[in-house]
Homo-oligomer: A and B are copies of this chain.
Amino acid sequence: MDRKPLARRAGQLKAASSMSENPLNLYFRLFNEIGIIGQLSRSLLEAHLPPRFLLQHFAVLNHLVRVKDGQMPLHLARAFQVPKTSMTHTLAILAKAGLVELRDNPDDGRSKCVWITEAGKAFRRNAIDNLAPDITRLVAKIPAGHIDTLLPLLTELRCILDTDRDEV
């Protein structure tokens, strides 16, 4: 990133954070690393999914089990930060594969509820079982505590980005 100074406040921050890099650079590097890790982790998981299934298919099933079954498509789209149209497409694929069941929402004629099926639960479990050795290998390579340090900071960053976006 070029060294053109930002607002005066940014100059102040330079001293507070990194002596050698302005915050714009820092954030670009941060988001770049995150983008690449995202793709690497997606490849890691997708290697263990049946052909033609992708990370988002697994992620939806996982969310229904881990967070709450029977959610509305809109809530799922928000949880994963994708447009409604993307979630509509993903759910159509999952329903067609028999991994979820879309039922009308009795409380709201406009909306649907997404329920995971037994086949969906089995799909998710198989993916997790197949991925476990890879994660075990990662665990062996990454020092204990680093993930514990990363997670809360990433969660904070995600919350701030989420909130910041709504403010604009």
For chain A, residues 111 to 168, give those with C-beta under 8 angstroms from any C-beta of chain B.
125, 128, 131-132, 134-142, 144-151, 153-158, 160-162, 164-165, 168
A92 within 8 A of B: no
Contact of A26 among B39, B40, B147 (CB under 8 A): B147
Number of copies: 2
* B128/A2 in contact, CB under 8 A: yes
Which of A17, A55, A168 is packed against the most chain B CB atoms within 10 Å?
Answer: A17
* Chain A residues numbered 61-114 whose CB sits less than 8 Å from any CB in chain B: 62, 66, 80-82
The binding surface of chain A is classed by DSSP as: helix
**A135-B23 CB under 8 A given contacts A35-B38, A38-B35, A161-B37:** yes
CB nearest to A82 among chain B residues: B39
Instruction: List B contacts of A23 (CB < 8 A).
Output: 135-136, 139, 147
Number of A residues near B (Cβ < 8 Å) is 72
Q: Is the CB of A164 within 8 A of B150?
A: no
Residues of A within 8 A of B (CB): 1-2, 6-7, 9-10, 13, 16-18, 23-24, 26-45, 55, 59, 62, 66, 80-82, 125, 128, 131-132, 134-142, 144-151, 153-158, 160-162, 164-165, 168
A-B contact pairs, 8 of them (CB 8 A): A2-B128, A23-B147, A24-B131, A27-B138, A34-B38, A35-B80, A37-B158, A142-B157
